[in-house]
Amino acid sequence: GQQLNQSPQSMFIQEGEDVSMNCTSSSIFNTWLWYKQDPGEGPVLLIALYKAGELTSNGRLTAQFGITRKDSFLNISASIPSDVGIYFCAVPGRSNFGNEKLTFGTGTRLTIIP
């Protein structure tokens, strides 16, 4: 099946630092999604990318759809305490039954050190 390699698995940073994470695959996709999951809550969509090379921002978050269509990047500038959580990349696809399904990366856990 499809597999998304997300890195790094975890990050320990100080408040104010910039953050970069990425997601790669051996397959080509037409859409890349980035979700964030706060402790005790479900994933929330941050950014959706629909075109190769696209660069999209949401506040301090910027995501890019890789030109090869096999990867995507998420950057967070000037991190703040509420950025703590797990960030997931995801790609839509079709299951063997023809249903739309999301494949998720393994996540990047972001921790801010006091």
Partner 1 sequence: ETGVTQTPRHLVMGMTNKKSLKCEQHLGHNAMYWYKQSAKKPLELMFVYNFKEQTENNSVPSRFSPECPNSSHLFLHLHTLQPEDSALYLCASSQEHEGNQPQHFGDGTRLSIL
**Please, what is the Cα angle at 66 between 81 and 15, to 5 degrees?**
15
Smallest gap, in angstroms, from Cβ of residue 20 to partner 1?
21
Closest to partner 1 by CB, 77 or 101? 101
45 binds partner 1 (CB under 8 A): yes
DSSP per position, the chain: ----EEE-SEEEEETT--EEEEEE-SS--S-EEEEEE-TTS-EEEEEEE-STT-EEEETTEEEEE-TTSSEEEEEE-S--GGG-EEEEEEEEEE-TTS-EEEEE---EEEEEE-
Interface positions, 69-98, toward partner 1 (CB under 8 A) = 88, 92, 95, 97-98
62 binds partner 1 (CB under 8 A): no
Q: Count of residues binding partner 1 (CB under 8 A)?
A: 27
44 binds partner 1 (CB under 8 A): yes
26 binds partner 1 (CB under 8 A): no
Residues near partner 1 (CB under 8 A): 4, 30-31, 33, 35, 40-45, 48, 50, 88, 92, 95, 97-107
